[in-house]
Amino acid sequence: MDLNYLRRLVKIFDDSTLENLEIEEEGIKVKFTRTKSTNVINYSVPETVSITAQQNYQPIPTITQPDTIEKPLVKINTEEHTDLFEIKSPMVGTFYRAPSPEASPFVEVGQSIRKGQVLCIIEAMKLMNQIESEVNGTIEKLLVENGKPVEFGQPLFLVKIE
């Protein structure tokens, strides 16, 4: 795992409100854990390296953090949409329907799509990531507004598979 990649993960975790995050890639496991008074981040590679970084944070008295984080929920009636395929976000970031503010959206509701076609962009850490269709079909529903944040695994589109 690349040191710059680890630094980016630390920055993302530090900027988030997550208390725990665990990532495993190519046999390397990275675990981030946050406590209320300290931020403890553990990086561990099985049987090779273990690094612990600790940084103290002073609470800001005028700001209170909720016990639970409210996440925007997309309610889908599963009985209505049993034949639809969910295209989900592969990452945390900001959802964009078009390549630029002046450009037309990549796809519209009712449009036929093919596997590998770009459907949207998710911006993560100043990088624009094109999200491609996993299936052939027709866009039945758009589940996220342009410019809104999305989470890993959050449904973006409902597609009727052809």
Whether residue 109 is found in the same domain as residue 157 = yes
Q: Is pLDDT at 155 greater than 80 in this prediction?
A: yes
Residue 47 lies in a domain: yes
Residue 73 lies in a domain: no
Residue 104 lies in a domain: yes
Residue 156 lies in a domain: yes
Instruction: List the domain range (segments joined by +) for residue 42.
Output: 3-56
Residue 89 lies in a domain: yes
Residue 68 lies in a domain: no
Q: What is the dihedral of CA 20, 145, 116, 160, to 10 degrees?
A: 110
Q: Is pLDDT at 130 greater than 60 in this prediction?
A: yes
Whether residue 90 is found in the same domain as residue 44 = no
Whether residue 108 is found in the same domain as residue 148 = yes
| Claim: this prediction has a pTM higher than 0.85 | no
Q: Is pLDDT at 126 greater than 90 in this prediction?
A: no
pLDDT in tens, 10-20: 888 778 888 88
Q: Round to the nearest angstrom and report the end-to-end CA distance of the chain.
A: 39
Whether residue 42 is found in the same domain as residue 94 = no
Express as a percent the part of the chain with pLDDT over 70.
70
Provide the CATH number for the domain around residue 157: 2.40.50.100
pLDDT in tens, 46-70: 554 445 555 555 555 554 445 544 4
